[in-house]
Amino acid sequence: MLFPTKWVPKNWRICDGSVLPVDGNQAAGVVIGNISNEDVEFSLPVIDSPHSDYVYIICINGNFPDRS
């Protein structure tokens, strides 16, 4: 989601390649698709914004998506 840089909502992170621990963030890592059972941390994607006043953000805490 493209969002203004002045404020990021609770449970959301900027898509800047930050490294997060798998513990407590497993659903986000699985949805992003870059963790395995052996991993202890994973990186958020890096998505550059077309405008300097906005950033892309991703939700890291919420309901795990249903596979159906």
How much is the pLDDT for 2?
A: 86
How much is the pLDDT for 64?
A: 57
Q: How many other C-beta atoms are found inside a 10 Å radius of the C-beta of residue 48?
A: 8
The residue type found at 37 is N
> Does pLDDT of 24 surpass 60?
yes
With contact defined as beta carbons under 8 Å apart, do 44 and 3 qualify?
no
Sign of dihedral through CA atoms 3, 31, 60, 19?
negative
The residue type found at 13 is R
Name the residue ranges covered by the structural domains of the chain: 2-59
